[in-house]
Amino acid sequence: MSKTTQITELNSNPNVVLFLCRWCSGKGADLAGTSRLHYPTNVLPIMVNCSSRIDPQHVVEAFLEGADGVLITGCHFGDCHYKTGNYKTFRRMALLSRLLKQVGVNPKRFRITWISATEGAKFAKITTEMVEDLKKLPPYGKNGKGGDS
């Protein structure tokens, strides 16, 4: 199955692409699951080894392939399995978010947050919050191009 069909087959409104790191935020998402916490089914989780693996291009491609929002999660500062990976994500996404704003992407569509392995509740809260925020906005990427025409 190609990436494109995966995002659009979610067929939920809104679709959120969620990047998880293998060590903290991924374990946090697991904990949310094993603790039977509710969080929306609108998210498509993609696990990578470290949040710094996520290139700005991945974010833009997610939007182009049908995502209404992109949520990047990683370890808290100081907790990174690779010591400094999340600092790089932090700086990279700061500049990317400015660029996205300049091309007219609503800042609510792109979030970055830090979740530790014990923060299942925080994971559920943030994903719910983001999906609720996006529900108030019109769908974004479904037409292949931004906007709602």
- Length of the chain measured in residues: 149
- Tell me the backbone φ, ψ of residue 67, rounded to 5 degrees: -80, 145
Q: List residues binding other proteins (CB under 8 A).
A: 55-57, 60-61, 63-64, 77-78, 84, 87-88, 90-92, 94-96, 98-107, 137-138, 140, 144-149
Closer CB to other proteins, residue 40 or residue 139? Answer: 139
Q: Which residue lies nearer to other proteins by CB, 33 or 147?
A: 147
Q: Check if the beta carbon of residue 66 is closer than 8 Å to that of residue 7.
A: yes
Q: Minimum Å distance from CB 76 to other proteins?
A: 12
Q: Which is nearer to other proteins, 92 or 111 (CB)?
A: 92
Alpha helices in 1-147 (DSSP H): 3-10, 25-34, 56-64, 85-102, 120-135
Report the 10 Å Cβ neighbour count for 58: 15
The distance of closest approach from Cβ of residue 46 to other proteins in the complex, given in angstroms and rounded to an integer, is 18
CB of 102 to other proteins, least distance (A): 5
